[in-house]
Amino acid sequence: MPKTNADLAAAFEQTADLLELQQANPFRVRAYRNAARLLGELRLDLVAQVEAGRPLPRLPGIGADLAGKIEEFARSGHLALLDRLRRQIPAGVTEMLQLPGLGPKRVRALYEELHVTTLPALARAARDGRIRALPGFGARTEARILEAIEAHGRRPQRLKLVTAAQYAAALIAWLRRAPGVSEVAAAGSLRRSRETVGDLDLLACAPDGAAVCRHMLAYPEVAEVRAAGDTRATVLLASGLQVDLRVVAEASFGAALLYFTGSKAHNIRLRTLAIERRMKLNEYGLFAGRRTVAAATEQEIYGKLGLPWIPPELREDRGEIEAALKDALPVLIERRDLAGDLHAHTDWSDGAAGIEAMARAAQAHGLSYLAISDHSRRLTVAHGLDPPRLARQCAEVEALNRRLAGIELLTGIEVDVLDDGSLDLPEAALAPLEVVIAAVHSKFDLSRAAQTRRILAALEQPKVRILAHPVGRLIDRREPYDVDMLAVIRKCKARGVALELNAHPERLDLTDVACRMAKDEGARVAINSDAHAEHEFDNLDFGIGQARRGWLETGDVINTRPLGEVRAWLAGKEER
Ligand code: DGT
Ligand code: CA
Ligand code: CA
């Protein structure tokens, strides 16, 4: 049963939605949502765990009931509860939940008050002006719903990188068991670490391509076969994800990997370079007339084109070819370059674990320091800290520091930026802290000018050293707020504030392009996990992928430095 954590996460998320539609106990709804979030990020494959007969590890928020559900899903591929909910609720209503801006509460109102159970019926209701008449809706919401339905039809579905990676890992493991396979690799946008993935491009190396294609068609998750032949197959998985598989000979593996990794724009530039050098480049190799110049590895092909090997994350035709020609490619940051993490939560606010557990987890992830930065009081839903609780937490952090070996904690806070750009806590409360992170969690819809003014004002506050998730987007769920990023970056540079690259796979905020802007302006970046649970330090990998797409090097990232240097920077004793 090659279901993956991503399938489980989707099933739990849907269970939560449908339970909420039925107005189930909010705590129960929340438990499923939290479990979905956990599974969506967890690296450990729980399915394999169950298959191997190993007990599930202790996981935050997963009690006996949910653990039973995980085992049920791993063993049967189904959740009886979800199947029942789906029978009780019309499919069109479930579909409405996919529309941005329509949560269970609104969907419930729409189908109870207007009796709409399909998207076309909902669109009609919007056009007839029936939605605006409902309490809590209004003409603006009605117009947005109509737009969302239209966009829903147009927009190709893209998966978050973390989700695509989970599906890919399970399928790659399956393909490695195909007859005669010596290698399986992911290509396409997944290999380039794009923040979202349209479809999976996989490459296998084997003498008998037809046998490998047949093996893939036998993958139990295949829902639809779109094409199948001796060297390639295209299928749709039950999750809706499309997979393109190519099977090639070892002699041309590098050429195929290069071609199918893309991007298309990068490939076009390489082909032009080949032509200028009187050669021809395609998915089978680099050729001079009929002679094969290079084909087995990417290194050889780049080499014969007069280029160093270019890391996949750079292959977007954003200047990497020019840099390579001058032998001036950046030396991209790697995960092992991170020395510490400057943003994490604990159960003092909305985190799942205590301070010590988070410290141990950070240490287990190879980090040597960790800032404890819980939310401030304005975020009441997250049990944000007021000055007295913050002072008590600091005392506890300092006490722990005297006891812990191998990891050093820094005191800190993720303090809300208020509507006018002032901070949620008074200067006196912030003064003793080492790491003050300013974060926007409200008023996302201000005009560009107003939002920019607000954030620049927050950056003027003397204790602020990091700007959290600078554009506030949630991939697939919330658009970034409108802000003049260049102005923000320049202010950060001027004030000696680091821009956070929040590594949560749903945020990946900064974007790759903004990372590049920050680097070009000479501003510092902090790659932070924003971990709310022990396993979330794994997410740093996704931050690194995004940073590499943004051309970042060790020197651009503040938390690659040893603690002593970071403390000096935090204290403002370094270049501004
Ligand atoms: P995605 O799937 O939208 O996330 O993005 P990619 O980059 O994975 O794009 P995809 O799956 O359409 O194609 C995978 C790679 O195959 C692409 O990056 C370059 C190569 N490729 C596909 N179609 C073409 C084409 O028509 N011309 C060229 N030059 N390359 C192509
Ligand atoms: Ca693709
Ligand atoms: Ca493709």
Q: pLDDT 10s digit of each residue in the chain, 576 long?
A: 467 888 899 999 999 999 998 889 989 999 999 999 888 888 888 878 888 888 888 888 888 899 999 999 988 888 999 999 988 888 888 888 888 778 888 999 998 899 888 888 899 999 999 999 998 898 998 998 998 888 877 656 789 999 999 999 999 999 999 999 999 999 999 999 999 999 999 999 999 999 999 999 999 999 999 999 999 999 999 888 999 999 999 999 999 999 999 999 999 999 999 999 999 999 999 999 999 999 999 999 999 999 999 999 999 999 999 999 999 999 999 999 999 999 999 999 999 999 999 999 999 999 999 999 999 999 988 899 999 999 999 999 999 999 999 999 999 999 999 999 999 999 999 999 999 999 999 999 899 999 999 999 999 999 999 999 999 999 977 889 999 999 999 999 999 999 999 999 999 999 999 999 999 999 999 999 999 999 999 999 999 999 999 999 999 999 999 999 999 999 987 654
Neighbours of ion ligand 3 (CB under 5 A): 199, 201, 244
> Hey, whose CA ends up nearest to atom 16 of ligand 1?
260
User: 532: CA distance to ligand 3 center in Å?
Assistant: 34
> Hey, whose CA ends up nearest to atom 18 of ligand 1?
262
Q: Which atom of ligand 1 is nearest to the CA of 158?
A: 4
User: 234: CA distance to ligand 2 center in Å?
Assistant: 12
d(CA 378, CA 336): 36
Token reading at 378: 């304005």
The pLDDT of residue 93 is 87
Cβ of 198 less than 6 Å from ligand 1: yes
Q: What does residue 276 show for φ and ψ, rounded to 5 degrees? A: -60, -30
Cβ of 189 less than 6 Å from ligand 1: yes
User: 189: CA distance to ligand 1 center in Å?
Assistant: 8
**Any idea what DSSP says for residue 204?**
E
Residues linked to residue 439 through DSSP beta bridges, in sequence order:
416
> Hey, whose CA ends up nearest to atom 17 of ligand 1?
262
d(CA 72, CA 79): 7
Token reading at 538: 């794994």
3-class SS of residue 154: helix
> Hey, whose CA ends up nearest to atom 5 of ligand 1?
189
User: 363: CA distance to ligand 1 center in Å?
Assistant: 39
> Hey, whose CA ends up nearest to atom 24 of ligand 1?
264
Which numbered ligand comes closest to the C-alpha of 198? 1
Q: Which atom of ligand 1 is nearest to the CA of 188?
A: 8
Nearest in space to 564 (alpha carbons), one of 364, 401, 339, 334: 339
Q: What does residue 120 show for φ and ψ, rounded to 5 degrees? A: -60, -40
The pLDDT of residue 432 is 96
> Hey, whose CA ends up nearest to atom 29 of ligand 1?
264
Instruction: Cite the beta strand spans of 218-376 per DSSP E.
Output: 222-228, 232-237, 242-248, 280-282, 285-288, 291-294, 340-341, 369-375
Cβ of 267 less than 6 Å from ligand 1: yes
Nearest in space to 344 (alpha carbons), one of 568, 60, 536, 543: 536
Cβ of 199 less than 6 Å from ligand 1: yes
Nearest in space to 524 (alpha carbons), one of 565, 554, 484, 482: 554
> Hey, whose CA ends up nearest to atom 13 of ligand 1?
188
Token reading at 444: 């996302």
The pLDDT of residue 576 is 46
Q: Which atom of ligand 1 is nearest to the CA of 259?
A: 20
Cβ of 193 less than 6 Å from ligand 1: no
Token reading at 353: 């674990």
Long-range CB contact pairs, 74-82, < 8 A, 24+: 74/1, 74/3, 74/8, 74/46, 74/47, 74/49, 74/50, 75/1, 75/50, 76/1, 77/1, 77/3, 79/11, 79/15, 81/15, 82/11, 82/14, 82/15, 82/18
Q: Which atom of ligand 1 is nearest to the CA of 271?
A: 29
Amino acid in the structure at residue 76: S
Question: Does the pTM exceed 0.95?
Answer: no
Tally Cβ neighbours within 10 Å of residue 314: 22
Pairing outcome for strands 525-528 and 280-282: unpaired
First to last CA, the chain: 56
3-class SS of residue 49: helix
d(CA 239, CA 234): 14
Q: Which helix (DSSP H) or strand (DSSP E) does residue 566 occupy?
A: helix 563-570
User: 190: CA distance to ligand 3 center in Å?
Assistant: 10
Produce one character per residue of 96-117: b if its CB has 16 or more CB atoms within 10 Å, e if not. bbebeebebebbbebbeebebb
Neighbours of ion ligand 2 (CB under 5 A): 188-189, 199, 201
Pairing outcome for strands 498-502 and 464-467: parallel
Side-by-side strand order, sheet with 408-416: 340-341, 369-375, 408-416, 435-439, 464-467, 498-502, 525-528
Cβ of 312 less than 6 Å from ligand 1: no
The pick from 264, 283, 298 for probing ligand 1's pocket by mutation, whose C-beta has the most ligand atoms within 8 angstroms, reads 264
d(CA 568, CA 346): 25
User: 259: CA distance to ligand 1 center in Å?
Assistant: 8
**H-helix segments, 52-193:** 64-76, 80-88, 91-96, 104-113, 119-127, 138-154, 161-175, 188-191
3-state DSSP of 436-461: EEEECCCCCCCCHHHHHHHHHHHHHC
Token reading at 373: 């930065």
For tokens 């794994």, the residue is: 538
Token reading at 512: 């790759």
The pLDDT of residue 51 is 81
Which numbered ligand comes closest to the C-alpha of 272? 1
